[in-house]
Amino acid sequence: MRLLPRLLWTILFVMLSLRLSAEEPTVKPLKDLFPQFYIGTCLGGLLPDDFTNEEMALIDAHFNVVTPEGCMKPEPIQPEEGVFHFKYPDDLVAYAEAHGKRVTGHTLIWHQQCPDWFFLDGNKPASRELVLRRLRTHINTLVGRYRGQIMGWDVVNEAIDDGKDVYYRPTKWWKAIGDDYIEKAFEYAHEADPDAELYYNDYSIESPVKREKTLKLIARLKEKGLRIDAVGIQGHWELDKVPFKDIEDAIVAFHNAGVKVMITELDLDVVTRWTPKDAPKEVANPYPNACPPEVLQRQAEQYAKLFEIFARHSDKITRVAFWGLHDGRSWLNFWPRWRMNYPLLFDRNAKPKPAFYAVQKVGLTP
């Protein structure tokens, strides 16, 4: 008779364990779910010093390519002429090599985070020749340092104007050098590492207006005999405003133009991006403590739809990379203002969100 209660407790324990297992879906590594293309993330900080054990485990498990979030941009890497800061990128490249991951460099030219000294000669504007010489030195030094260690480079970032009638964004680079500054950057990057892939990276180039301009840029570079391997569609999209058709059309159009496609800075903003400066807190920062389940569910459905597109066109796509490791590491907590945001697949504790499981389902679907 004494055996019966013990047997019942054993049965109850097994049943409870099975129930808990059913409530906790298995987590598959993203890089294994989508072997058709690289799965990446950007990393800001010194590895591993600035990351928790949970974050390091997340990086190791899910991503096979990493991108420096900021440390290779012109201002952080060379704040003064001839003074290069290599500690952070050296650390990232060493980590990647030790853990079997690839690296993409970001970025050689950008109109932001670029020091003014590039464009000055004393107190007057520098000549085209001087700016070109500085650009070549910058690219040769940076790309040359990691020659053979970096898979590819975002050579130029966000150079196309958003407007309908203006082609190039009127940046200091364009004003100092002219229309061919992009061509020169690609030329110098190839010179510094002939084996590295070269990319053009921009936001909203899936939209018809910027798509046509990007196609024009691709054709121009190819006509000049310059190497361009892929274009990066940044993918900073907003919940309920994801331009699914434009994205798919752009992937096909860029592929038909003779380049591969990358989704380079993927996140899905769940907080209204632009609000008036005097907007009340509940509008500017609507989810200070937690994101509502219904919002997370909509985000999950839209992430799944994106990955269905990516999987359908996996012959054209080489990389899908998130701009941030998890919600707590996202730039969207601070731009365009401070707010608690939830744009990625993992929460602030590095745990999978509904969006992760929705994407996982896509990856497991034959």
Which position among 69, 158, 183, 238 bears the catalytic label? 158
List CB contacts of 35: < 8 A, sequence separation 6 or more.
Answer: none
Strands 236-238 and 102-109 come out as unpaired
H or E element, residue 233: strand 230-233
Q: How far apart are alpha carbons 1 and 6 in whole angstroms?
A: 10
| Alpha-helical regions (H) of the chain | 3-23, 30-33, 53-62, 74-77, 87-98, 128-145, 172-177, 181-192, 208-223, 244-256, 281-284, 293-312, 354-364
Is 248 an annotated catalytic residue? no
Nearest Cα to Cα of residue 313 among 267, 244, 265: 244
Alpha-carbon distances of 107 from 76, 86, 152, 282, rounded to whole Å:
11, 14, 10, 36
- Count the Cβ atoms, other than its own, within 10 Å of residue 98: 9
Which position among 69, 187, 197, 265 bears the catalytic label? 265
Q: How far apart are alpha carbons 169 and 193 in whole angstroms?
A: 27
b/e 125-156 (16+ beta carbons within 10 angstroms → b)? ebeeeebbebbbebbbebbebbeebbbbbbbb
Q: Are 198 and 189 in contact (CB under 8 A)?
A: yes
Is 158 an annotated catalytic residue? yes
Full DSSP string of 291-320: --HHHHHHHHHHHHHHHHHHHHTTTTEEEE
Q: How far apart are alpha carbons 182 and 187 in whole angstroms?
A: 9
Active site residues: 158, 265
